[in-house]
Chains A and B, each alone.
Chain A
Amino acid sequence: MREITYREAVREAMREEMRRDSAVFQLGEDIGVFGGSYKVTLGLVDEFGTERILDTPLAEAGIAGAAVGSALVGMRPVAEIMYIDFSTLASDMIINTAAKMRFMSGGTIKLPIVIRTQEGGGVSAGPQHSQCLEMMFAHVPGLIVVLPATPYDAKGLLKSAIREDNPVIFIEHKGMYASKGPVPEEEYLIPLGKADMKREGKDITVVALSRSVLFAMEAAERLAREGIEIEIIDPMTIKPLDRECIIQSVKKTGRLLIVHEACKMYGFGAEVAALVADEAIDYLDAPIKRIGALDVPIPFGMRLENFVLPNAGDIVEAARQLMA
């Protein structure tokens, strides 16, 4: 199968959906000729023109609001928020309106919106351009939250997100845009709300998100040499969450480790840990472990950033402890 980058996979999904459905359009800062800060939309304006690839002023609240309003009456907007850090400026429209409007209307309206953004560290971008804020959205009822880890997943999930009739927060990772993986030429979709088992193993269930999936894959190879076989579950969609997949895996392995780049405290890991404690505690042979960033802002420099963010080595270490 051909290999393409994560960046190209996202772009292909958007190109295909825009060709398929004339209601799909994109808006965001510098997404036109500039192709976006991370060059994800590069070239799309040549095919679809400046009306459907709409460069906006610097106005995140306006971008999110225009997405809501246009989705209310006939369009299927894909709004890019350049960094998830700036989504705080759009968050009123997302949290107070997009997430609640269908509910408040008693189901009379629908909001087919995708908010595309990217998060994460690893490029010395400092405290205001490196955060992982997915839980801010996952905590709000009414939003679907998706974090793809591979080019294949990114393409299939984004196509589904664009066809979805509810607001989706689609969170890419800036550190993965150049990563490559197999993506078929033929069309495919990946359903939202379904987890993917990235690796089978009998010893430990590792639930990993976004770029942490790559770290978990790396750790798996090292651990396999020591005779520890981890099973890697990538939820891909954290809201709604594929609970069953996680529970089934834990029932098989009896051990659970959760890994994400967002701060460990009050993070996704806490939700998964609580879920397993509720539904599969009798199957556990060891305490649940979580790996996440330290509870500090992301420092600018590499040395400090590496100290704060989790990596494959942390997973190896935690897995050994779980097996000890």
Chain B
Amino acid sequence: MEISREILIGMYSKMLLLRRFDEKVVELYRSGMKGLYHLTAGGEAVAVGVCSALSQDDYILSTHRGKGHYLAKGGDLQAILAEFMEKQTGCNRGKGGPMHIIDPSVGMLGANGIVGSSLPIACGAALSAKLRRSGQVAAAFFGDGAANSGVWHECMNLAGIWKLPVIFVCENNFYQESVPVSRHSSIQDLYARAAGYNIPGYGIDGMDVSAVYEAAVEAVQRAKRGDGATMLECKTYRFHGHSEADPTKGLRYRSGEELAAWLEKCPLKQAKARLLERGWIADAELEAIDQRCTQGIEEAVNFAKSSPDVPAEWALKDVFTDDQGEICHEGC
């Protein structure tokens, strides 16, 4: 497949947005924004490559590291920043926070803080799409660590027997928090496990957005044809620590040389080099893209900051469908 100039520029722009967004989150976190933040940097090509192959009404299910997936799927910058700041205008109305972004309007059916949870929910969404004959696809992002959970096995098998229109996207960044894949998995190429479920599995260079995109397009076509699930294992790396609470960038359990080698493979660097090499973009345009990202984020920060805080009583709303915050709850 030949990726067009338009698509590659689009994907590069998205990846840059994710990177600049990460940088802003770090800045806000350092100046006191509350919450647990697991950043995307290093993994942009996986989020953007997969989501670029999906349509607006396809679904994604995500993880604790889900901010990039949401933005790549067309998520709202203002709504996510407002969510982080506990504002009424947040995508979860300020009640879910950074680990639980949910925005059905763009097919984001939820980032989940319980590792492994993206797969079963994606199977359910895919089952619904199949029963409704809607032609939609569900993609589940998950990490190398999640691939060892029990529910992972159940879901691979369900998708296999029911030929679900689902894409299992493994972001193998080589670590489950501090434990390297060499010590947490009995097999190093996780995609090889897919064969055991009669699902096609592919190992992809997750730092190359074009490679991810091509593989995802094929998986989407397979799903829409009714031929069932695909597993894409995208080998990638996280440039930060497991969460921003670790200021050492994970150097207690991984080496500086290893990190430096992966920084060389930065997905943005690679995409930019390709664009320049093909003469598809000029420096001025690159500069303009960066400006647009930075400006959009600045505007979103201002929007979030000036949005109204969530009133404390909202804690009582939304437990059930009919809760308007007036129900008398048993409590203190």
Binding site for B on A (CB under 8 A): 29-30, 32-34, 37, 55-62, 85-86, 89, 124-129, 264-265, 291-297, 299-308, 310, 314
For window 11-35 of chain B, which residues contact chain A by CB distance below 8 Å?
34-35
Q: Please indicate the chain A residues that have their CB under 8 angstroms from the CB of B114 in the complex.
A: 85-86, 89, 128
Can you list the 9 inter-chain pairs with the closest CB atoms, starting with the nearest? Answer: A300-B97, A301-B86, A34-B178, A294-B331, A307-B312, A57-B148, A128-B113, A124-B34, A57-B184
B-side binding surface: helix, strand, loop or mixed? loop
Q: A126, A265, A300: which has the most chain B beta carbons within 10 Å?
A: A300
Name the residue on A nearest B34 (C-beta). A124
A-side binding surface: helix, strand, loop or mixed? loop
Roughly how many angstroms separate A56 CA and B94 CA in the complex, as a whole number?
Answer: 34
Q: Would you call B100 and A300 a contact (CB within 8 A)?
A: yes
Q: Would you call A61 and B330 a contact (CB within 8 A)?
A: no
Q: Please indicate the chain A residues that have their CB under 8 angstroms from the CB of B179 in the complex.
A: 29-30, 32, 34, 55-57
Name the residue on B nearest A298 (C-beta). B315
Q: Would you call A32 and B178 a contact (CB within 8 A)?
A: yes
Chain B interface extent, by class:
35 or more
- Residue of A29, A58, A128, A305 near B116 (CB, 8 A) is A58
Roughly how many angstroms separate A300 CA and B178 CA in the complex, as a whole number?
Answer: 25
Q: Please indicate the chain B residues that have their CB under 8 angstroms from the CB of A55 in the complex.
A: 178-179, 183-184
| Known pairs A300-B100, A307-B312 / 8 extra A-B pairs, C-beta < 8 Å | A33-B253, A34-B178, A55-B179, A57-B179, A124-B36, A128-B114, A299-B95, A303-B309
Min distance, Cβ B186 to any Cβ of chain A, angstroms: 9
Q: Tell yes or no: B319 within 8 A of A by CB.
A: yes
Q: Please indicate the chain B residues that have their CB under 8 angstroms from the CB of A129 in the complex.
A: 36, 99, 113
Q: Please indicate the chain A residues that have their CB under 8 angstroms from the CB of B149 in the complex.
A: 58-60, 89
Q: Would you call A59 and B97 a contact (CB within 8 A)?
A: no
Name the residue on A nearest B86 (C-beta). A301
Roughly how many angstroms separate A99 CA and B253 CA in the complex, as a whole number?
Answer: 36
Roughly how many angstroms separate A126 CA and B243 CA in the complex, as a whole number?
Answer: 15
Q: Tell yes or no: B225 within 8 A of A by CB.
A: no
Min distance, Cβ B9 to any Cβ of chain A, angstroms: 36
Q: Tell yes or no: B260 within 8 A of A by CB.
A: no
Q: Would you call B330 and A295 a contact (CB within 8 A)?
A: yes
Q: Please indicate the chain A residues that have their CB under 8 angstroms from the CB of B177 in the complex.
A: 29-30, 34, 37
Q: Would you call B331 and A295 a contact (CB within 8 A)?
A: yes
Q: Tell yes or no: B157 within 8 A of A by CB.
A: no
For window 40-88 of chain B, which residues contact chain A by CB distance below 8 Å?
86
